[in-house]
Chain A
């Protein structure tokens, strides 16, 4: 513990590696969390708009059904957009390299 705060001594390679891995895991988790939050926020906004037309004292069964379907569709739309975008990026990159050659 003293070494942790002192900082005077060199850290061992194992220490180094463990710290590195911890930082990397943290960053990866933060990114995944931000990604999931963004997906949920935009799905919620759009599904509320599409499914809860006249907000009453509680969510009706049909509103709940609509919300569930809408969430599934939003995820599907995200996947379609992601696949199309990635395919396009790959294609552009290929054209670039063939142009150089």
Chain B
């Protein structure tokens, strides 16, 4: 498909569309990574017909605590950057 044959307005529209799709793909990829990581941490027994209450809670907590950890590390780095020890 040759995008150069499209008029300017359409090309701009497509560029914006692609950016949105790329952002969407990044979110999806994060969710896949979190799913794998949290599955490995939380689902240790042989899969049954439903999750136990604790497995379900663990999966949700895993996501929130991962994001907390990530924010904690960012704050830590910024502290060190703005308050050099000497």
- For B67, the chain A residues whose CB sits under 8 A away are 85, 88
Closest to B49 in A: A69
- For A76, the chain B residues whose CB sits under 8 A away are 51
- For B38, the chain A residues whose CB sits under 8 A away are 77, 81
Say yes or no: A22 contacts B1, CB within 8 Å. yes
Asked whether A69 and B10 contact (CB < 8 A) given A27-B17, A27-B18, A85-B34, the answer is: no
Instruction: Tally B residues with Cβ within 8 Å of A.
Output: 41
Say yes or no: B59 contacts A82, CB within 8 Å. no
- Confirm or deny: A28 has a beta carbon within 8 angstroms of a beta carbon on chain B: yes
- For B46, the chain A residues whose CB sits under 8 A away are 50-51, 66
Report how far A50 CA is from B44 CA in the complex, Å. 8
- For A38, the chain B residues whose CB sits under 8 A away are 28-29, 32
B interface: dominant SS: helix
- For B32, the chain A residues whose CB sits under 8 A away are 38-39, 42, 78
Report how far A39 CA is from B47 CA in the complex, Å. 17
Contact of A20 among B13, B34, B60, B62 (CB under 8 A): B13
- For B7, the chain A residues whose CB sits under 8 A away are 10-11, 13, 16
Asked whether A20 and B10 contact (CB < 8 A) given A11-B5, A42-B36, A80-B60, the answer is: yes
B73 to chain A, nearest CB (A): 16
Chain B CB count within 10 A is highest, among A70, A73, A80, for A80
Say yes or no: B43 contacts A31, CB within 8 Å. no
- For A42, the chain B residues whose CB sits under 8 A away are 32, 35-36, 39
List chain B positions with a Cβ less than 8 A from chain A.
Answer: 1-3, 5-7, 10, 13-14, 17-18, 21, 24-25, 27-32, 34-36, 38-40, 42-43, 46-51, 56, 59-60, 62-64, 67
